[in-house]
Amino acid sequence: MSRDPLSDVKIVESWGKNALPWTKAVRDGQIDSRRLITNQAIVEAVLSRSPRTVLDLGCGEGWLTRELAARQIQVTGVDAVPDLIEKAQSAGGGDFRVASYEEIAAGKLKISVDVMVCNFALLGHKSVEAMFRAAPSLLNAHGALIIQTLHPIMACGDFPYQDGWREGSWTGFSADFTDPAPWYFRTMESWIKLFRDSGFQLLEVREPVHPKTRKPASVIFIAEVADRVFALASKPDLRDTDSAQHGVPARFTSQPATS
Protein backbone atom coordinates (compact mmCIF):
# COMPACT_ATOMS: atom_id res chain seq x y z
CA MET A 1 0.00 0.00 0.00
CA SER A 2 1.49 3.38 -0.93
CA ARG A 3 1.74 5.99 1.82
CA ASP A 4 0.49 9.52 1.56
CA PRO A 5 3.83 11.23 0.70
CA LEU A 6 2.92 14.21 2.91
CA SER A 7 1.90 12.55 6.18
CA ASP A 8 3.02 11.82 9.72
CA VAL A 9 3.38 8.13 8.88
CA LYS A 10 5.66 8.92 5.94
CA ILE A 11 7.96 10.97 8.19
CA VAL A 12 8.74 7.98 10.39
CA GLU A 13 9.08 5.66 7.39
CA SER A 14 11.61 8.02 5.76
CA TRP A 15 13.67 8.40 8.94
CA GLY A 16 13.73 4.61 9.19
CA LYS A 17 15.31 4.43 5.73
CA ASN A 18 17.96 7.01 6.65
CA ALA A 19 18.92 5.83 10.12
CA LEU A 20 22.45 4.82 9.14
CA PRO A 21 23.55 7.88 7.11
CA TRP A 22 21.88 10.14 9.69
CA THR A 23 23.83 8.53 12.52
CA LYS A 24 27.06 9.02 10.58
CA ALA A 25 26.23 12.64 9.70
CA VAL A 26 25.51 13.56 13.32
CA ARG A 27 28.46 11.69 14.80
CA ASP A 28 30.93 13.00 12.20
CA GLY A 29 29.76 16.58 12.79
CA GLN A 30 28.72 16.96 9.14
CA ILE A 31 25.99 19.54 9.84
CA ASP A 32 27.64 22.96 10.13
CA SER A 33 24.84 24.77 11.95
CA ARG A 34 24.74 22.05 14.62
CA ARG A 35 28.48 22.11 15.16
CA LEU A 36 28.68 25.89 15.15
CA ILE A 37 25.63 26.89 17.17
CA THR A 38 22.48 24.81 17.60
CA ASN A 39 23.93 21.87 19.59
CA GLN A 40 25.35 24.19 22.21
CA ALA A 41 22.19 26.30 22.20
CA ILE A 42 19.90 23.40 23.07
CA VAL A 43 22.25 22.03 25.73
CA GLU A 44 22.40 25.48 27.36
CA ALA A 45 18.61 25.84 27.19
CA VAL A 46 18.13 22.52 29.00
CA LEU A 47 20.84 23.24 31.58
CA SER A 48 19.23 26.62 32.31
CA ARG A 49 16.45 24.64 34.04
CA SER A 50 18.89 22.63 36.22
CA PRO A 51 16.91 19.43 35.63
CA ARG A 52 17.47 16.15 37.44
CA THR A 53 15.45 14.21 34.86
CA VAL A 54 14.98 14.79 31.12
CA LEU A 55 12.96 13.14 28.36
CA ASP A 56 14.63 13.58 24.94
CA LEU A 57 11.79 13.25 22.40
CA GLY A 58 12.73 12.11 18.91
CA CYS A 59 16.26 11.53 20.21
CA GLY A 60 17.55 10.00 16.96
CA GLU A 61 20.95 8.33 17.49
CA GLY A 62 21.03 9.88 20.97
CA TRP A 63 23.70 12.62 20.98
CA LEU A 64 21.69 15.01 23.19
CA THR A 65 20.74 12.29 25.65
CA ARG A 66 24.42 11.35 25.99
CA GLU A 67 25.51 14.97 26.32
CA LEU A 68 23.06 15.60 29.16
CA ALA A 69 23.63 12.24 30.86
CA ALA A 70 27.35 13.06 31.02
CA ARG A 71 26.31 15.94 33.31
CA GLN A 72 24.77 13.60 35.87
CA ILE A 73 21.23 14.11 34.57
CA GLN A 74 18.99 11.05 34.32
CA VAL A 75 17.91 11.06 30.67
CA THR A 76 15.47 8.92 28.73
CA GLY A 77 15.67 9.11 24.95
CA VAL A 78 12.75 7.98 22.78
CA ASP A 79 12.34 7.72 19.04
CA ALA A 80 9.91 5.99 16.69
CA VAL A 81 12.70 4.43 14.60
CA PRO A 82 14.05 1.16 16.04
CA ASP A 83 17.32 1.36 14.07
CA LEU A 84 18.11 4.77 15.57
CA ILE A 85 17.34 3.54 19.08
CA GLU A 86 19.60 0.55 18.45
CA LYS A 87 22.42 2.93 17.46
CA ALA A 88 21.74 5.02 20.56
CA GLN A 89 21.75 1.99 22.84
CA SER A 90 25.00 0.70 21.46
CA ALA A 91 26.67 4.07 22.11
CA GLY A 92 25.22 3.99 25.66
CA GLY A 93 24.94 6.94 28.06
CA GLY A 94 21.19 6.93 28.59
CA ASP A 95 18.00 4.94 28.80
CA PHE A 96 16.73 4.58 25.22
CA ARG A 97 13.33 3.29 24.16
CA VAL A 98 11.34 2.96 20.95
CA ALA A 99 8.19 5.09 21.16
CA SER A 100 6.38 7.33 18.71
CA TYR A 101 4.70 10.59 19.65
CA GLU A 102 1.37 8.91 18.92
CA GLU A 103 2.22 6.11 21.40
CA ILE A 104 3.41 8.62 23.98
CA ALA A 105 0.15 10.53 23.54
CA ALA A 106 -1.70 7.26 24.11
CA GLY A 107 0.09 6.79 27.45
CA LYS A 108 2.91 4.37 26.55
CA LEU A 109 5.50 6.25 28.61
CA LYS A 110 4.80 6.18 32.35
CA ILE A 111 7.41 8.67 33.44
CA SER A 112 7.49 12.18 34.82
CA VAL A 113 10.44 14.50 34.19
CA ASP A 114 11.78 17.98 34.91
CA VAL A 115 12.38 18.77 31.22
CA MET A 116 10.98 17.41 27.98
CA VAL A 117 13.31 18.43 25.16
CA CYS A 118 12.82 18.02 21.45
CA ASN A 119 15.67 18.93 19.12
CA PHE A 120 14.64 19.36 15.48
CA ALA A 121 12.29 16.42 15.84
CA LEU A 122 8.79 17.93 15.76
CA LEU A 123 8.31 17.50 12.07
CA GLY A 124 4.74 16.30 11.71
CA HIS A 125 1.21 17.64 11.94
CA LYS A 126 -1.27 15.62 14.02
CA SER A 127 1.49 13.58 15.72
CA VAL A 128 3.03 16.80 17.05
CA GLU A 129 -0.29 18.18 18.25
CA ALA A 130 -1.03 14.90 20.05
CA MET A 131 2.40 14.99 21.72
CA PHE A 132 1.84 18.58 22.86
CA ARG A 133 -1.50 17.65 24.43
CA ALA A 134 0.15 14.76 26.31
CA ALA A 135 3.20 16.74 27.43
CA PRO A 136 1.76 18.33 30.62
CA SER A 137 1.03 14.88 32.08
CA LEU A 138 4.71 13.90 31.66
CA LEU A 139 6.13 16.96 33.43
CA ASN A 140 6.86 17.42 37.14
CA ALA A 141 5.85 20.57 38.98
CA HIS A 142 7.87 23.44 37.44
CA GLY A 143 8.73 21.09 34.56
CA ALA A 144 9.53 22.65 31.19
CA LEU A 145 8.95 21.78 27.56
CA ILE A 146 11.91 22.94 25.45
CA ILE A 147 11.77 22.78 21.69
CA GLN A 148 14.42 23.68 19.13
CA THR A 149 13.14 23.78 15.59
CA LEU A 150 13.69 25.45 12.22
CA HIS A 151 13.16 29.19 12.40
CA PRO A 152 9.94 29.77 10.42
CA ILE A 153 11.25 32.91 8.75
CA MET A 154 14.38 31.12 7.55
CA ALA A 155 12.65 27.84 6.66
CA CYS A 156 9.77 29.38 4.71
CA GLY A 157 11.74 29.84 1.50
CA ASP A 158 9.73 30.98 -1.49
CA PHE A 159 6.49 29.39 -0.26
CA PRO A 160 3.63 31.41 1.23
CA TYR A 161 4.09 32.09 4.93
CA GLN A 162 1.32 29.74 6.07
CA ASP A 163 1.06 26.35 7.80
CA GLY A 164 1.15 23.30 5.58
CA TRP A 165 3.03 20.23 4.45
CA ARG A 166 6.34 20.66 2.66
CA GLU A 167 8.39 18.13 0.73
CA GLY A 168 11.70 17.20 2.29
CA SER A 169 15.16 17.48 0.77
CA TRP A 170 18.61 16.11 1.51
CA THR A 171 20.41 18.94 -0.27
CA GLY A 172 23.81 19.38 1.32
CA PHE A 173 23.87 15.81 2.69
CA SER A 174 25.76 12.81 1.33
CA ALA A 175 24.47 10.63 -1.50
CA ASP A 176 23.76 7.88 1.05
CA PHE A 177 20.53 9.64 2.02
CA THR A 178 17.32 8.65 0.28
CA ASP A 179 13.58 9.39 0.27
CA PRO A 180 13.58 12.62 2.35
CA ALA A 181 10.93 12.97 5.02
CA PRO A 182 8.18 15.54 4.44
CA TRP A 183 7.59 18.07 7.20
CA TYR A 184 4.80 20.31 8.38
CA PHE A 185 5.66 24.01 8.25
CA ARG A 186 4.32 26.18 11.09
CA THR A 187 4.47 29.95 11.24
CA MET A 188 5.77 31.60 14.42
CA GLU A 189 2.18 32.53 15.28
CA SER A 190 1.11 28.89 14.92
CA TRP A 191 3.90 27.61 17.15
CA ILE A 192 2.93 30.09 19.85
CA LYS A 193 -0.75 29.14 19.48
CA LEU A 194 0.15 25.44 19.73
CA PHE A 195 1.84 26.04 23.09
CA ARG A 196 -1.09 28.08 24.37
CA ASP A 197 -3.78 25.68 23.11
CA SER A 198 -1.93 22.78 24.75
CA GLY A 199 -1.97 24.51 28.15
CA PHE A 200 1.57 25.95 28.12
CA GLN A 201 2.83 29.41 28.89
CA LEU A 202 5.91 30.46 26.96
CA LEU A 203 8.64 31.70 29.27
CA GLU A 204 11.31 32.39 26.69
CA VAL A 205 11.96 32.39 22.96
CA ARG A 206 15.60 32.23 21.87
CA GLU A 207 16.90 32.79 18.34
CA PRO A 208 20.45 31.41 18.09
CA VAL A 209 22.30 33.27 15.35
CA HIS A 210 24.53 31.39 12.92
CA PRO A 211 28.04 32.83 13.35
CA LYS A 212 28.75 32.78 9.62
CA THR A 213 25.44 33.84 8.03
CA ARG A 214 24.40 36.09 10.98
CA LYS A 215 20.84 34.82 10.46
CA PRO A 216 18.75 32.78 12.93
CA ALA A 217 19.96 29.16 12.85
CA SER A 218 16.84 28.01 14.75
CA VAL A 219 14.27 29.04 17.28
CA ILE A 220 14.11 27.64 20.82
CA PHE A 221 10.90 27.76 22.85
CA ILE A 222 10.95 27.27 26.63
CA ALA A 223 7.53 26.78 28.24
CA GLU A 224 5.89 25.66 31.46
CA VAL A 225 2.36 24.40 32.03
CA ALA A 226 0.30 27.57 32.33
CA ASP A 227 -1.82 26.86 35.40
CA ARG A 228 1.27 25.68 37.27
CA VAL A 229 3.06 28.94 36.52
CA PHE A 230 0.03 30.72 38.02
CA ALA A 231 -0.38 28.31 40.95
CA LEU A 232 3.30 28.48 41.87
CA ALA A 233 3.44 32.26 41.50
CA SER A 234 0.53 32.64 43.93
CA LYS A 235 2.06 30.09 46.37
CA PRO A 236 5.79 30.93 46.33
CA ASP A 237 6.46 28.55 49.26
CA LEU A 238 5.85 25.65 46.84
CA ARG A 239 8.66 26.66 44.50
CA ASP A 240 11.61 25.13 46.33
CA THR A 241 10.02 22.29 48.20
CA ASP A 242 8.81 18.81 47.51
CA SER A 243 5.40 19.33 45.97
CA ALA A 244 4.03 16.09 47.42
CA GLN A 245 4.53 17.36 50.97
CA HIS A 246 2.58 20.53 50.30
CA GLY A 247 -0.68 19.25 48.98
CA VAL A 248 -0.08 20.05 45.33
CA PRO A 249 -2.79 18.28 43.32
CA ALA A 250 -1.86 14.75 42.27
CA ARG A 251 -1.43 15.66 38.61
CA PHE A 252 1.45 17.95 39.63
CA THR A 253 3.41 15.26 41.45
CA SER A 254 5.94 12.75 40.16
CA GLN A 255 4.89 9.30 39.05
CA PRO A 256 7.18 6.31 39.46
CA ALA A 257 9.05 5.30 36.32
CA THR A 258 7.41 2.00 35.45
CA SER A 259 8.36 1.59 31.80
Ligand X SMILES: C[S@@+](CC[C@H](N)C(=O)[O-])C[C@H]1O[C@@H](n2cnc3c(N)ncnc32)[C@H](O)[C@@H]1O
What is the contact surface with ligand X in residues (CB under 6 A)?
8, 11-12, 15, 26, 58-60, 63-64, 79-81, 84, 100-101, 119-121, 123-124, 127
The answer to whether 120 touches 59, Cβ cutoff 8 Å, is no
Which residue number, 149 or 243, has a Cβ lying nearer to ligand X? 149
Torsion of CA 39, 75, 144, 107, to 10 degrees: 120
Measured distance CA(204)–CA(224) in Å, rounded:
10
CB of 106 to ligand X, least distance (A): 12
Which residue number, 62 or 141, has a Cβ lying nearer to ligand X? 62
The answer to whether 96 touches 62, Cβ cutoff 8 Å, is yes
User: Nearest to ligand X by Cβ — which residue?
Assistant: 60
Which residue number, 60 or 216, has a Cβ lying nearer to ligand X? 60
CB of 221 to ligand X, least distance (A): 15
Measured distance CA(39)–CA(60) in Å, rounded:
14
CB of 228 to ligand X, least distance (A): 25
Q: List phi, psi (to 5°) of 79.
A: -155, 155
Which residue number, 164 or 249, has a Cβ lying nearer to ligand X? 164
Collapsing DSSP to helix, strand or coil, 1 comes out as coil
CB of 239 to ligand X, least distance (A): 30
